[in-house]
Structure 1
Amino acid sequence: MEPLVALRRDLHAHPELGYQEQRTSDIVANFLQALGIEVYRGLGKTGVVGVLRKGQSSRMIGLRADMDALPMQDNGDAPWKSTHAGVCHACGHDGHTVMLLGAAEQLARHTDFDGSVCFIFQPAEEGQAGAKAMIDDGLFTRFPCEAVYAIHNWPELPLGEIHTRPGAIMAAADRFDITVKGGGGHAAQPHLTRDTLLATSELVVQLNTLVARALDPCEPALLTVTRMQGGFSHNMIPAEASITGTVRTFSPAAQDVIETRLRQMAEHVTAAHGLNVEVNYLRYYPATVNSETEANFALNAVKQAGFTAETARQPALTSEDFAFMLQAKPGAYLWLGSAPSKPLHHSAYDFNDALIPYGINAFVALVRQALSEKFPC
């Protein structure tokens, strides 16, 4: 296990942003080739796929790990903290990569099964849809997986405990950018202009009522304004101001309602102030929806391997581009407890290395059960 821990820390020290994971993908490809695993590169630009075949069956399952880091400063104090300013592995993708490499090693050297395992090392999960890019480059055409599984470390759960659920497990993620225009003037003469900051402030308040008043109270959804910008001087009303935020939902119908009402609200509030508005609304990740058979299979498989595993009581409002893979293939996304740990996306987050053997064993358990004669369990 020590070499895998050392590799994880090396990846942490050398993080790479989405579609720039050249060093990471080189390490992954070399590791797989040393095991005698077939290696394919270039899917999704920097993605790597390994295929391990045993036995006679033509059946194949996919296991996925993400490789990219986040555009933020590493404020941790570990000796292996990021050496790249403004880039760090604050979500644990370095650990996910190493867990899947460790599983590949275990499956290649010590585990018998009948069929093929497709190891999918994906770039650009953090908001750039690397999963979709790999699919668009022929991932599942070239490697026809029957089902696909992914594991993400989860600091809110005890170390090694696994949760998943049939149906939605992660939310769809949308982004909105609203620009209010048409004002500008001296702050001491507000009667001679239109106040973009006042209108934008009112819009922020109104947007925070939208979910509660537009959707059924039993429909889970979230709207959060995350940025407000405008102005350069203490004595000037700016000509324009802007706000940015995110919307999280679990159904296309809820997305439709919120986008429509958001556009209407922006137009009406700004019109009341005599201003113009420009709204850009981007639906960048769909909801991550597990298929029922594969979610239940995964829970049973890891339980048989000795894990504490439970059906998650509710989905999370965070998002995942593994959603694109689950739109293309049946499968399941699993949360693997990593406490104690900083929260995901915290600037001092560091993957808990004690989790590596749990992740390896969970991946191996899925393969051992899925590619046996007893599937589905």
Structure 2
Amino acid sequence: MSTGDTIRTLATELERELDGAVELRHRLHARPHLSGTEAAARDLVLAALPSRHGHTEVAGTGAVVRVGGPGPAIAVRGELDALAVHEETGVPWESEHPGVMHACGHDVHLAALVALARAVDRVGGPAPLLAVLQPREETYPSGARDIAEDGILEREQCRAAIGAHVQPLLAAGTVACTPGGVNASADEFTVTVRGRGGHAAYPHLTRDPVVTLAHVVVALQSLVSREIDPMSSVVLSVTTLAAGTAANVVPGSATARGTIRAMRTADREVVHERLVDVATLVATAHGCAAEVEITRGEPVLDNDATLTAATQPLLGALGLKVASDLRSAGADDFSYFSERKPSLMLFVGTHGGTEQLHSPTFLPPDERIRDVAHAMLAGYLAAADLYI
């Protein structure tokens, strides 16, 4: 069967699956589960997949399902978890769990993945498809990291990985298929400055950690602007400050926390190193000491350039418009797959900038399930052609 015939056949089968996919999306949306508690969502998705395919449980509450015969396969990822957000959409299938909501489109991704898997199961495809039902995308420890480190992708002979994510910054009907880094690495840091506390009326008898930490925070703002190539994208944001309990007492310590985002791995490492230098040396200059703790999160999500180029014309053949390159300092743990396999994350338009992810009113229309499924199909076909 030619590539054109394969596209048409699978696209036709996807259309037949859309009503069921919409129903599944509504059920998932009404019963959201926070990261680490997704077993019921996993089981609901497994029940919608072709029954003759067994599954392997992974990462505690996740699963991997092989659709097709033995041999090298292409993985397609869907996320199981929801967010701690109180829904304000008012739809009949609104969340039944107060304070928990699918505010990031994971319900759409899962429904699209099921539609694709069912279509591939019924008419066949150029390669087996691994449906990866991933838990804990929204929190640490990362579900994708656990799956990658488990080795199941290697045991299942995974040759490439495909992901798709709704993106309200893009108009409906468009898909960003961008080579290189598309999501930043995401790390958290804590700086604790220790001085000598005392009476606020006698500051000369103290070593004030509050003033010292203020100087550290200001100094850190120059780190990116003066030590990173201005053509590179790095974010260092201090987001919390904590010190003291009384207005007339200089405390013994003060703490700042924040996040580091980088679009290049080399820049990520430079910022880590220099953050420690700046904090410790500024503290020393003020007669204090600083301790720095960096918690490494997701790596840079790097789209394989060859896979990206092969997918773009297939998106057009499926009626989707390829949008301009889209890169974001946001993070996605799909990057743990991209570290190990040729991978592609596609951003699928929903609103054209009129809504935001993680908002209590975020609700992609059901019609976007088709777009996400078609984007996944394009990536799957391109990967199968390149790597199988």
Secondary structure of residue in 2 paired with 1:51: strand
Does residue 303 of the first structure (1) align with residue 316 of the second (2)? Answer: yes
Matched, 1:151 2:164: yes
Matched, 1:233 2:237: no
Equivalent pair of 2:160/2:383 in contact (CA under 8 Å): no
The CA deviation at 1:287 is 0.6
CA distance in 1, matches of 2:380, 2:294: 40
Asked if 1:113 corresponds to 2:125, the answer is yes
Question: Counterpart of 1:280?
Answer: 293
SS in 1 for 2:297: strand
Residues 1:326 and 2:326 are matched in the alignment: no
Give the partner amino acid of 1:23: A
- Indicate the SS of the match to 1:126: coil
Relative to structure 1, the CA distance from residue 181 to residue 83 in structure 2 (aligned partners, 3 Å threshold; closer, same or farther) is farther
Cα-to-partner distance string for 1:66-118 (whole Å, 9 max, x where unaligned): 11223x33252424444445543232222211221122233333x44233111
Matched, 1:45 2:60: yes
Q: Tell me which residue corresponds to 2:25.
A: 8
SS at match of 1:209: helix
Give, in whole Å, the separation in 2 of the partners of 1:233 and 1:346: 36
State the partner residue of 2:102: 89
Question: 2:187 maps to what in 1?
Answer: 174
Q: 1:3 to 1:238 in 2, by over 3 A?
A: farther
The structure with the greater share of residues assigned to strand is 1
Normalised by the length of structure 2, the TM-score is 0.87
The percentage of aligned residue pairs carrying the same residue is 32
CA displacement, residues 121-157 of structure 1 (integer Å, 9 cap, x when unaligned): 1111124221121122222122112221100111110
Report what 2:13 is aligned to: none
- Secondary structure at 1:245 match in 2: strand
Runs of at least 5 residues in structure 2 that lack an aligned partner in the other structure = 1-17
Shift of 1:171: 1.2
> CA RMSD, aligned part only?
2.4
Q: Deviations over 1:329-365 (max 9, x none)?
A: 1121111011155212334433443311111222234
The structural deviation recorded for 1:369 is 5.4
What is the Cα deviation at residue 224 of structure 1?
A: 1.0
After TM superposition, the structure 1 = structure 2 runs for residues 1-377 of structure 1, keeping only pairs within 5 Å, are 1-32=18-49, 35-53=50-68, 58-70=71-83, 72-79=84-91, 80-109=93-122, 111-128=123-140, 129-310=142-323, 312=325, 315-339=327-351, 342-368=355-381, 371=384
Contact 1:39 1:48 in 2 (8 A): no
Bigger mean CA deviation after superposition, 148-157 or 199-208: 199-208
1:218–1:114 distance in 2 versus 1, CA, 3 Å = closer
Gaps of 5+ in 1: none
Matched residue count: 368
CA distances 1:168-212 after superposition (whole Å, capped 9, x unpaired): 111111211111122333333333323222222222222111100
